[in-house]
Structure 1
Amino acid sequence: MSSAEMYNGLKVLSSYHRKGGVGKTFLASTIAYLLATGGPDGTGKKRRVLVLDYDSQQDSSKAFLQMDAIPGDDEYAAPTHPDYKEINDPDWPGRNTSTDILFDSPVYEYPTAFEGIKVLPSEGNVDRVLALTPQSERLVSTITSHMKDWFSIPDLAEDYDIIIVDNPPSKSPVSAGLLGAATHVIIPTEPEYDSIDGVPMLLNRIDRINEDRTDNPLEVLGVIPNKVQSKSKLTQKDRIALSKLYDKNGPTAAYMSQFWLTQRNCYRVMERPSVDESHFNYVHNHYAIDEMTKLYQLVENKIWGGK
């Protein structure tokens, strides 16, 4: 059984790096947009996408939903579901977060302004999952097992082509547990020491996961250098970092993408929540469109074989 067949054909893509701020959320939200809209030129197959946000920064949630500010707090609450009055479920409070999945609570995905994208937002602080078990190692396997069961629900494969998980950074049991249930992973990295040093460690973790998944290995789509200066502006430090990543005798070379994402303001989401493509500002910059086309083609080809 291949990874693509684990969940009745449903794909689960984890965007992950152990370090924060390297582009993990950027990849998750942008790939969701690209897949749902058929790529930068809109001519590709439009995929049905569910985004699960588990990052405490809640940026993937805020990219697509109008989250509710909590007075005196630095976190946001999930909004009241727009279909709250239409959904007849006495056990449901009218709001959902991705963490509810782990507690077998009623879960209703949120629609967004994009027809092909739905979201389960982050609750900001996922520490309540520690109540599942007091032992860290058991918590990892508990989360992996629970998420595998949830991804296997037949209705999910009927409703979605892919679930994109915005993993929390760090080596927490939550991030490890979520990664263990994914079918695919994409890894962003900046050209600086802490970021590139974490890539081989993450690849080692994937190897350990695959020791128990010989029939359906977790597949690496690629390692994507992000926030790279244009070639004419690369510093010596940048060149050293990139040469380490692409060293043919090193542990990461086989996974490196053949393109970089450069540091341009056109990649910033111009408004939150995003309600139309104009808010994904890169669609107006031909350099960025070229890079987004390569990113889109990488994901499409690696997961669906370009179909």
Structure 2
Amino acid sequence: MVERFRKNAKVRTIAVASRKGGVGKTFSAINIACCAANGGPNGDLPKLKVLIVDADSQQNSTYYYLKHMGAQMAGQKVLLPPNPNCPMGNIYNISDIIAGNEYMEYPTEWENIFIIPSDGRIDQLNDIATGDIKGYDDNQLNKFSSMLFDDLIADVSDEYDLIVIDTPPSKTHASQGAIAASSDCLVVANPDAFCASNAVPGTIADIQMNNSTFRNEDNQTNIIGILINKVSSLRPTSHEKDHIRKIRSQFPEFFSPSLVMCNYVAFNTEIPQKPGHFEWYKHPQAKEQMESFYNYISDKVLSDIYAEAK
């Protein structure tokens, strides 16, 4: 059994969020998890034990981590394989947690990354959850969802250094609950009009509303920053510059050059396909940006854990 690295530091939970699909949210979540498990992009940091929670009905993280053990695409749905750690060949997923059933994390090809997969139904809280929640309003459903994720995090926190939640690319009760229960949240966007005017302000507003509604003043979800992804390589267009300026002017406290990633990374490199095999190692520009990105995450979120190595 792989042991966690941290001794006294608290587990950290990063929700990766966006109100728009296709911005690179899952790409970012997976790279954070893989870098943390690898000991950073260059392998010079302690290797952390990571849990991925796929709370996205699109199941992209699920397919990535479980395809090696037989996860299959059937139309737009991922069919989950039996959990190899279960002698009865059971299939567990995020809906089991919502329904109050027993569950078990899946192992992955990475010895220190585990996953609770999505079955594609997480947005259907009313159909999955036990108890009478049919009459709940949106705020009550968000609270119910946040309590489910709170319970999950409390249940597994002793086992892991880092929990990464891949949230739905929309404003759903599942995404609101995951964000409300997380210690930290990374907002992912593209340099386009919808993200600058709607997706980013909406996601930030959701986090702030969740903080005021569900969290104590001394225990707020920390906004790590806004990752602006898929910027045109080397020469951003004038429209991209305008959208980036708009995001930066609205939220200067969440903007950093380390969180501006050109499309060279997203379009010319793959998500790591094997433990320690980072495609962007081969591309100096992509490698530099991924190192800067992870170092930023490390400084903002994981510094207490890494400090225990000194």
TM-score (norm 2): 0.86
Please report how far the alpha carbon of residue 95 of structure 1 lies from its aligned counterpart in structure 2 after TM superposition. 0.6
Question: Which of the numbers 222, 226, 238 marks the counterpart of 1:219?
Answer: 222
Equivalent AA in structure 1 for residue 162 of structure 2: I
Output the CA distance in 2 between the equivalents of 1:27 and 1:41.
17
Output the CA distance in 2 between the equivalents of 1:266 and 1:101.
37
Q: How does 1:267-306 map to 2 (within 5 A)?
A: 267-269=269-271, 274-278=273-277, 280-305=278-303
Equivalent AA in structure 1 for residue 194 of structure 2: D
Report if the CA contact (8 A) 1:16-1:186 is conserved: yes
Question: What is the aligned partner in structure 2 of residue 117 from structure 1?
Answer: 113
Output the CA distance in 1 between the equivalents of 2:164 and 2:302.
15
Question: What is the aligned partner in structure 1 of residue 77 from structure 2?
Answer: 75
Report if the CA contact (8 A) 1:57-1:124 is conserved: yes
Aligned to 2:175, what secondary structure does the other structure show? Answer: helix
Name the stretch that deviates more: 165-174 or 73-82.
73-82
Output the CA distance in 2 between the equivalents of 1:9 and 1:203.
24
Q: 1:58 to 1:192 in 2, by over 3 A?
A: same
Q: How does 1:170-209 map to 2 (within 5 A)?
A: 170-197=170-197, 198-209=199-210
Question: What is the aligned partner in structure 2 of residue 90 from structure 1?
Answer: none
Identity %: 26
Q: 1:42 to 1:125 in 2, by over 3 A?
A: same
Unpaired segments of 5 or more residues in structure 2? 1-8
Please report how far the alpha carbon of residue 20 of structure 1 lies from its aligned counterpart in structure 2 after TM superposition. 0.9
Name the stretch that deviates more: 253-262 or 178-187.
253-262
Equivalent AA in structure 2 for residue 256 of structure 1: F
Please report how far the alpha carbon of residue 256 of structure 1 lies from its aligned counterpart in structure 2 after TM superposition. 0.9
Equivalent AA in structure 1 for residue 223 of structure 2: V
Output the CA distance in 1 between the equivalents of 2:153 and 2:238.
45
Aligned to 2:257, what secondary structure does the other structure show? Answer: coil
Question: What is the aligned partner in structure 2 of residue 5 from structure 1?
Answer: none
Report the aligned-residue RMSD: 2.0
Residues 220-277 of structure 1, C-alpha deviations (whole Å, 9 max, x = no match) = 111011001123x211111111111222xx2x1110122221112333237xxx3333
Please report how far the alpha carbon of residue 158 of structure 1 lies from its aligned counterpart in structure 2 after TM superposition. 2.6
Report if the CA contact (8 A) 1:38-1:45 is conserved: yes
* 1:95 partnered with 2:91: yes
Aligned to 1:246, what secondary structure does the other structure show? Answer: helix
The number of aligned residues is 284
Please report how far the alpha carbon of residue 46 of structure 1 lies from its aligned counterpart in structure 2 after TM superposition. 0.9
Residues 92-113 of structure 1, C-alpha deviations (whole Å, 9 max, x = no match) = x601112211122111111111
Equivalent AA in structure 2 for residue 98 of structure 1: I
Please report how far the alpha carbon of residue 290 of structure 1 lies from its aligned counterpart in structure 2 after TM superposition. 0.9
Unpaired segments of 5 or more residues in structure 1? 1-7, 88-92
Q: 1:105 to 1:290 in 2, by over 3 A?
A: same
Equivalent AA in structure 2 for residue 22 of structure 1: V
Report if the CA contact (8 A) 2:72-2:78 is conserved: yes
Report if the CA contact (8 A) 1:36-1:46 is conserved: yes
Output the CA distance in 2 between the equivalents of 1:277 and 1:43.
12
Report if the CA contact (8 A) 2:16-2:185 is conserved: yes
Output the CA distance in 2 between the equivalents of 1:209 and 1:200.
14
